[in-house]
Structure 1
Amino acid sequence: MINMDMVGENQTLCGSTFQATRTPDSVPSYLNDVLSSGLDLLLGSPALPGLEPSATWAITSPSGTHEPWRAGLTPFSGGSDHEVFMGGGIQVPATMFGSWPDFFYHTNEDTPDKCDPTALRRAVALAMITAGSIANMDAASAIDFSDRMYARARQRMGLDLVRAVETLQAALPGGEDLGEALNLVAHGFERESGALSSLLRLFPGEKSLERTVARHVEGLRLERESAGREVRALSLALSSRRKVSPSHVAAGLSPEEKEAARLVPGRLPDFPGPLADDYVALKLEHKRIPYRNAFPGAAGFEIGAFIDGRRSVLEIRNAVSAECGPVRLEDVREYVQKLAAAGVIVLKKADL
Structure 2
Amino acid sequence: MRLELGRRVKEELSGGVAKSFVAEITRFHRVQASTMFHEAANYVKATLHNIGLKDARIEQFTSDGETKYWTWTTPIGWEVKHAELNLIKPKEKLIVRYKDTPTSLHTHSKGTPVEGVTAELIDVGEGTKPKHYEGKDINGKLVLASGRAKRVHEEAVYKHGAIGVITDTLTHEIEDIRESLDIPDAHAYQSIWPTKEELDKVSFGFSLSKRQGSHLRAMLREGERVVLNAKVDARLFPSKLDVVTATIQGNLKPDEEIFLIAHLCHPRPSANDNASGSGLLIEIARTIKTLIDSGKIKQPARTIRFLWVPETFGTIAYLYHHKDKVSKLIAGINLDMVGQNQEICKSTLNLDKTPDSNPSFLNDYIFNLLERSVGEFDHKTAFGPGSTFRYTITPFSGGSDHAEFNDSTFNVPCVMLLQWPDLYYHSSMDSIDKVSEDSLKRVGWIATVAVLTLASATSEDAIIMANLTRIGGLTRIQEAVKKAIADLHKIINGAPEELAKKLSEIAFNLKNKIEHIMWREKQAIKSVKRIGSTVELNIITQYTKDIEQKCQLELKRFNEILTTMAKTAGITFPIQSQELEVVKQARKYVPSRLFKGPLSTDALKKAIGEEQIEWLEETSKKDKEFRKKTYEIINFMNGKRSIYDIAKAVSAEYSETNPDYVMKFIQLLEKANFISIQRSN
Smaller-chain TM-score range? 0.7 to 0.9
CA offset at residue 321 of structure 1?
0.6
Encode CA deviations 1:197-228: one digit per residue, 9 max, x unaligned. 11123333x2x522211111112111111122
2:514 corresponds to 1:185: yes
Q: 2:438 aligns with which of 118, 142, 147?
A: 118
CA offset at residue 267 of structure 1?
1.3
Map 1:30-69; keep pairs closer than 5 Å: 30-48=361-379, 68-69=388-389
Check conservation: 1:291, 1:338, Cα contact below 8 A.
no
2:589 corresponds to 1:263: yes
Question: For residue 644 of structure 2, what is the aligned residue in structure 1?
Answer: 314
Q: 1:7 aligns with which of 318, 322, 338?
A: 338
Q: 2:349 aligns with which of 18, 21, 28?
A: 18
Q: Comparing both structures, which one devotes a greater share of its residues to helix? A: 1
2:653 corresponds to 1:323: yes
Question: For residue 143 of structure 1, what is the aligned residue in structure 2?
Answer: 463
Q: 1:228 aligns with which of 537, 542, 555?
A: 555
CA offset at residue 114 of structure 1?
1.2
Rounded to whole Å, the distance in 1 between the matches of 2:439 and 2:351 is 13
Check conservation: 2:351, 2:367, Cα contact below 8 A.
no
Rounded to whole Å, the distance in 1 between the matches of 2:641 and 2:633 is 11
Q: Which amino acid aligns with 2:650?
A: V
Which segment drifts farther, 82-91 or 241-250?
241-250
Check conservation: 2:340, 2:436, Cα contact below 8 A.
yes
Question: For residue 47 of structure 2, what is the aligned residue in structure 1?
Answer: none
Q: 2:529 aligns with which of 174, 191, 200?
A: 200
Check conservation: 1:9, 1:115, Cα contact below 8 A.
yes
2:465 corresponds to 1:159: no
Secondary structure of 2:656's match?
coil
Secondary structure of 1:29's match?
coil
Rounded to whole Å, the distance in 2 between the matches of 1:169 and 1:334 is 34
CA offset at residue 316 of structure 1?
0.7
Check conservation: 1:163, 1:184, Cα contact below 8 A.
no
Residues 234, 273 of structure 1: alpha-carbon distance in 2 compared, 3 angstrom cutoff = farther
2:416 corresponds to 1:96: yes
2:174 corresponds to 1:174: no
Rounded to whole Å, the distance in 1 between the matches of 2:513 and 2:602 is 31
Secondary structure of 2:360's match?
coil
Question: For residue 403 of structure 2, what is the aligned residue in structure 1?
Answer: 83
CA offset at residue 237 of structure 1?
2.1
CA offset at residue 331 of structure 1?
2.0
Secondary structure of 2:350's match?
strand
Rounded to whole Å, the distance in 1 between the matches of 2:576 and 2:441 is 52
Q: Which amino acid aligns with 2:344?
A: L
Check conservation: 1:183, 1:322, Cα contact below 8 A.
yes
Check conservation: 1:235, 1:247, Cα contact below 8 A.
no
Residues 289, 111 of structure 1: alpha-carbon distance in 2 compared, 3 angstrom cutoff = closer
Identity of aligned residues (%): 27
Residues 189, 84 of structure 1: alpha-carbon distance in 2 compared, 3 angstrom cutoff = same
Rounded to whole Å, the distance in 2 between the matches of 1:140 and 1:40 is 21
Question: For residue 63 of structure 1, what is the aligned residue in structure 2?
Answer: none
CA offset at residue 82 of structure 1?
1.3
Q: Which amino acid aligns with 2:591?
A: P
Q: TM-score, normalised by structure 2?
A: 0.46
Encode CA deviations 1:4-56: one digit per residue, 9 max, x unaligned. 1101121222221211211111111010011111112111234349x9xxxxx
CA offset at residue 255 of structure 1?
5.8
Q: Which amino acid aligns with 2:602?
A: D
CA offset at residue 344 of structure 1?
0.8
Rounded to whole Å, the distance in 2 between the matches of 1:129 and 1:248 is 53
Check conservation: 2:338, 2:439, Cα contact below 8 A.
yes
Rounded to whole Å, the distance in 2 between the matches of 1:106 and 1:21 is 20
Q: 1:238 aligns with which of 560, 565, 590?
A: 565
Encode CA deviations 1:98-153: one digit per residue, 9 max, x unaligned. 11222222222221111112211211111112212222210122123322322221
2:672 corresponds to 1:345: no
Q: Which amino acid aligns with 2:539?
A: T
Encode CA deviations 1:287-339: one digit per residue, 9 max, x unaligned. x8676223533222211111121211111111111111101222211211111
Rounded to whole Å, the distance in 2 between the matches of 1:159 and 1:289 is 37
Rounded to whole Å, the distance in 1 between the matches of 2:530 and 2:379 is 40
Residues 145, 78 of structure 1: alpha-carbon distance in 2 compared, 3 angstrom cutoff = closer
Q: Which amino acid aligns with 2:536?
A: L
Number of residue equivalences:
331
Q: Which amino acid aligns with 1:44?
A: G
Q: TM-score, normalised by structure 1?
A: 0.85
**Bigger relative CO (Cα 8 Å, ≥ 6 apart):** 1
Check conservation: 1:267, 1:344, Cα contact below 8 A.
yes
Rounded to whole Å, the distance in 2 between the matches of 1:16 and 1:241 is 47
Rounded to whole Å, the distance in 2 between the matches of 1:169 and 1:12 is 36
Larger-Rg structure: 2
Rounded to whole Å, the distance in 2 between the matches of 1:289 and 1:317 is 20
2:292 corresponds to 1:292: no
Residues 257, 169 of structure 1: alpha-carbon distance in 2 compared, 3 angstrom cutoff = farther
Check conservation: 2:500, 2:575, Cα contact below 8 A.
no
Check conservation: 1:266, 1:309, Cα contact below 8 A.
yes
Rounded to whole Å, the distance in 2 between the matches of 1:219 and 1:321 is 24
Check conservation: 1:182, 1:231, Cα contact below 8 A.
no
Secondary structure of 1:266's match?
strand
Check conservation: 2:365, 2:469, Cα contact below 8 A.
no
Secondary structure of 2:376's match?
coil
Secondary structure of 2:615's match?
coil
Check conservation: 2:480, 2:510, Cα contact below 8 A.
no
Rounded to whole Å, the distance in 1 between the matches of 2:657 and 2:677 is 20
Secondary structure of 2:499's match?
coil
Rounded to whole Å, the distance in 2 between the matches of 1:275 and 1:304 is 8
Residues 285, 173 of structure 1: alpha-carbon distance in 2 compared, 3 angstrom cutoff = same
Check conservation: 1:29, 1:195, Cα contact below 8 A.
yes
Check conservation: 2:466, 2:526, Cα contact below 8 A.
no
CA offset at residue 256 of structure 1?
4.4
Check conservation: 1:187, 1:319, Cα contact below 8 A.
yes
Rounded to whole Å, the distance in 2 between the matches of 1:346 and 1:299 is 19
Rounded to whole Å, the distance in 2 between the matches of 1:111 and 1:337 is 44
Rounded to whole Å, the distance in 1 between the matches of 2:656 and 2:349 is 28
Check conservation: 1:78, 1:297, Cα contact below 8 A.
no
Q: 1:277 aligns with which of 592, 601, 608?
A: 601
Q: Which amino acid aligns with 2:609?
A: E
